[in-house]
Structure 1
Amino acid sequence: MSGPDDLLARTRAVLPSWLAVYYQEPIEIERGEGRHVWDADGRRYLDFFGGILTTMTAHALPEVTKAVSDQAGRIIHSSTLYLNRPMVELAEQIAAVSDIPDAKVFLTTSGTEANDTALLLASSLRRSNQILALRNSYHGRSFSTVAITGNRTWSPTSLSPFQVYYVHGGQQYRSPYAGLSDGEYIAACVTDLNEVLDQAGGDVAALIAEPIQGVGGFTSGPDGLLGAFADVLRERGILWISDEVQTGWGRTGEHFWGWQAHGSTPDIVTFAKGIGNGLSMGGVIARAEVMDCLGANSISTFGGSPLTSAGALANLRYLLDHDLQGNAARHGPTLLDGLRAHGSPIIGDVRGKGLMIGVELVRPGTGSPGEPAPELANAVLEACKRRGLLVGKGGLHGNALRIAPPLTLTAEEAEEGLAILVAAIEEVTP
C-alpha cells in the first residue's frame, strides 16, 4: 500500500485544487474507536474535531455499527417512492425531541441540502427571494447556500439566486459593538436589523442564523439575541431558520438545540453532521403549514435511506439514553475554563458552550481585539498533531481554533486534551 506522500499526490492529481487538507504532512485516518483515531502509520490521536463535528457520540459506536450492519443485510436503498420504516421511525424521534409544534421532518444527505430545502420552503411560502443572514456566517457549499454565506473565505462567487442582506450579531469579539453590555449589544443589533429591513423593501422571506457560527470560529452573539430578532421578524411575517447543523443534539450542554438559549421558537430548523455520526444525514424540521407549502411533486433518492436512517436512529437513541448533553455540560468547562485561565499573550478570546469551544489567536502586543494570527493557528494545529491531538480551525481570518470532541468525552480525556492544547500554545508563542 502506498504511503501518505503518494496518496497526497494522487489526491492533488484527481480531486479539485480547492479542497482543503490539514497539515504540512497530511495524515490518512484509517480507523477510530471511542474518542481516538489511528493514522495509516498506526499513530493514535485524541480526536477533538470529530470529522468537523460529525462523529457526535463516538468512533465505531457498537450500537450504530450493528444497526448499519443489520440494515445492510436486509436492504440498503429504496428511495422515498416506497414506504421506509427506518426513515419514519427516525423522523418520529426527531419530531419528538424537536420542540417544534406540529413538527414534520424531511431528511436529506447533508447540511448543505438541508439549508437548500429550508430556503426553498421559506422563499416559496413567502413568495420572495430576499434573505437575511448574519455576517461571518456559513451555510453550505451549494450555489444557494454559498449565496447566503457571510464569510468571504467560503464564498467563491458573487452570483446568487437570492437578494441577501447581512446583519450584525454573529460575533462579539470583533464586532463594532464590542465592549457593550449584552443588553446594549442586543439593542444595537435589533436597531441594525430594523434599518436593514426598512432599506430592503418588499417582503423578506426569512432570516437564517447559526446560534453559534461554526466555520466562523465558534462565534455568537449573547443569549436572547435571536429571540429579539424573532420579535421583529414576527411583526413583519418573516420566517426564522435556525441552522443547527453544528449546534444541535446537546453539544452546547445547556440546551438540546442552540436556538433554545434565545427565548423564542424558530419556524424552521436544519440539522446534519452529528445525527448520522459519520453517515451522510441531514434534514429539516418545520411546522406542518410550512413544510407542506410546496405545490409541486418531489422525491429524495438518497435522503433518509434505510441504511443511514437506521444508523442515525441508533445514534440518537444512544445520545438520549446516555444523557450526552449532560456529559457535554460536565466536561466542557474543563476545557473552556482551563484555556481561559492559561492567559497566553497569543490568546485573544476563548468562547463557546459545552463541547463547542473556539480560541482566537492574535499577534501579541497588537492591542484589543488584536491582529488575527492565522500563522499561529496553523502552528498550534501542527503542534497538537505532533502531540497526538486533532483540532480544527476557522474564523474569517483562519485564526480560530475549533475544539469539538465527541460527546462521550471522559474527564481524563478532557484533561489530557487541555494539557496538549496548552503545551502547543506555549510552544508557538513568540
Structure 2
Amino acid sequence: MNILFIHQNFPGQFKNLAPALANEGHRVVALTLRVKEPLTWKGVRILPYDIKRKSGQNVHPWLVDMDTKVTRGEACYHGAMALKKAGFNPEVIIAHPGWGESLFLRDVWPEARIGLYCELYHEGGYPHVNFDPEFPSREGGAEPLRIRLKNLNNLMHFQIADAGVSPTKFQADTFPPSYRNEISVIHDGIDTDHVVAKPDVVFEVEGGPTLSRDDEVITFVNRNLEPYRGYHIFMRALPDLLKQRPNAQVLIVGGDDVSYGARPAKGKTWKQIFIDEVRDQIPDADWARVHFLGRIPYDKFIALLQVARVHVYLTYPFVLSWSLFEAMSAEGAIVASSTDPVLEAIEHDVTGRLVDFFDPAAMVREVCELLDDDASRARLGKAARAHITQNYDLKRICLPQQMQWVADLAAKTPRPIPE
C-alpha cells in the first residue's frame, strides 16, 4: 500500500508509526518542510516542499493564523501535485493538520483515505480562554471570537477527513460531538523498554556538579519555559523550596522561545521575566543550586528523569506533554497540577501527587513531603510505571493500535470532495 505522511516537522508524532509501516512492506513517503533535499530515513522516503508565497499581509489580525495555514496548504498542494505527476498515488494519507498543510490534498487524490492527528479543538470558553487570570487576553471580551476562528482549519479538515486519532481523551473530547465520534484515542506511545529506572545513573551538569541518585534532585521540564506549562508557578515556589531543602539541586530544562500562548513584551523572555521576579528572594548560595539546562539531547533528558527524586509537572488545560509519561515510565515520583489533562494520567497519591495549578505553596509542601518519604516515592514511582506500561506502552499497546487504525482507515470509503 502507498502511504503518505504530512507533517511540517516530520516525523513529529509519527516517529514510530511511519517506520513501522515501512517495515511491514508499505511504500511510505513523507512531505515536509523540515528537509531541503530528499532523503530516506528508516525506510521512509522524505521529500521537501517549498513555500513561495508570503503570508499574513493585509489581513485582519484574527485571520493571520488562517492565512498562514492556507499559505502552507497551497505550498503542500503544489508539492503533492508534483508527487502525483511523478507517479505516486497514496491509498492512505496521514496528516497533522495543525499547520494547514493537508487542506487541499483531497483535491489531489480524491480516492485516498485521509486520517488526521487531532491535537486540539480551540474552545472559546473556559478552560481554553482566561484559565490564568494573570495573563488576560489582549482582545478582552472578544477573545472567544478570535479563538473560535482558529477552528476554521479544523472545520475545513473534517470536511475532507475519513478518520481521526488523538493521543488523549482530554484532547479528543475538545472536538464537537459530530467530529469526536470519528476520533480514536491512541497515544503516541512510550518506549518503556528504554525509559526505565536506573539506580546507578549519573547526570553531569555542564559547568556544575555531577549528580547521582544519592543527591536530592528536583526536576522541571518544558519544551520552552512559559506560563502555559506553569513555569511562572514553579519559579515562584523556588525561594521557599530552596530554603526548606538546603541540599536540593534543581534542574530546569527548556528553551527561551514560546511554544504556546502569547509572547512576552518585545526584547524579553518568559524565562528571564520570572528569574528577575524571584532572584532577589534567593541568596547566591541557594541560587547556585538552580541549573538552567536549556534544551538537551534525548538520552541526557532520560538520564535527568532517572536521577530525579521528585519531578514537577505543571500545565494549563492543554495538550499533555510526553515528558510526564516518560517521567512516570522511569518510576518518577511526580508532583503535578490537578488540571484536566493531567487527571487522565495521575491519580492523587496513587500514581503521583496533585496540587492546584495556582498554589506554589502546596507544590512545595508536596515536594518536601516526598523528599522526606522514601517509601512513598518508591510506591508512587512503581505505580506510575505500571500505569504507563499497562496503558501507554509503545511496542505492546500503542503501536499495534495505531497500525490497526491505519488498516481500518484504508478500508473506509473515501469522503467526497466538498462542494
Using the size of structure 2 for normalisation, the TM-score is 0.29
Q: Rg: which structure is higher? A: 2
Using the size of structure 1 for normalisation, the TM-score is 0.29
